[in-house]
Chain A
């Protein structure tokens, strides 16, 4: 079965614990080699963040448990990369049209 090599998640979490604590916990997980957390939006009580994880074999259940323990909830899985090699999204003509229309 192929392993998850890259994972991008959209997460909503309270301000505490901070993204610093969360990123450290995620980075410590077995199978995760790199973790990136970006703040997208923030309001009085909660913040919306994007979590990017890369590693040889990311365990989604463990990642979800860490996020839940920190009070966060996964709103969506925005990107997944699996297989022996990390590849990027292929560009198609439709992408250019969609971008232009946006």
Chain B
């Protein structure tokens, strides 16, 4: 199968209006990824898990699960929606649109959106877990603090990104996202101290 050129892919990108959907899925799923891994890390910290290898296993397993779930979920959903839209359009044009630019653009959109939906939570979670890859090179407590800082930085970054997309105040948008992280940390602390 011949791969389409960059120019062709850009054309499909324009036709299928992928940019808007991809941005939305990226922000939403990266946010999910960071909060989920923050929950794992907070649970690990207040649950007195002090083995870097265990945190890496827990964290990466969670990241992979989110990635696979994101990819498959988005693929099935987007494919169904795009096929439905194409079928409706075929009722108006009275012709088969599968082998046309719009048909190929639908396939392109499905793949791109699925990849974004899969990679964004995986990468967001993996970045937060990354200090633990250093193993015994740094103390586990330090790795936890760096992980928390990375997670909060990611949340702030996602907020700033959304703020720039919606042309609102970026710092405020970032702060709103960080609030969700603080709530998770607070719940983890309460669970850790009351258990």
Contacts and interface: CB of A to CB of B under 8 A. Distances in A.
Interface of A: 12-14, 16-17, 21, 43, 45-46, 68-73
Contact of B101 (A43, A45, A46, A69): A69
B3 interface: no
User: Among the interface residues A16, A21, A46, A72, which one has the most CB atoms of the partner chain B within 10 A?
Assistant: A16
Given A16-B102, A17-B101, A73 B15 contact: no
B87 to A, nearest CB: 12
Interface string B84-107: 000011001111010111110100
Given A69-B100, A73-B94, 7 more contacts: A16-B15, A16-B105, A17-B101, A45-B89, A69-B99, A69-B101, A70-B100
Given A16-B15, A17-B15, A21-B11, A46 B93 contact: yes
A45 B11 contact: no
Contacts of B14: 16-17
A13 B16 CA distance: 15
Given A45-B88, A73-B95, A68 B100 contact: yes
28 contacts: A14-B92, A14-B97, A16-B14, A16-B15, A16-B101, A16-B102, A17-B14, A17-B15, A17-B102, A21-B11, A21-B101, A43-B92, A45-B88, A45-B89, A45-B93, A46-B93, A68-B100, A69-B100, A69-B101, A70-B100, A70-B101, A71-B95, A71-B97, A71-B100, A71-B103, A72-B93, A73-B93, A73-B95
B92 A46 contact: yes
B80 to A, nearest CB: 19
Interface string B102-126: 1101000000000000000000000
Interface in B145-187: none
A71 B92 CA distance: 11
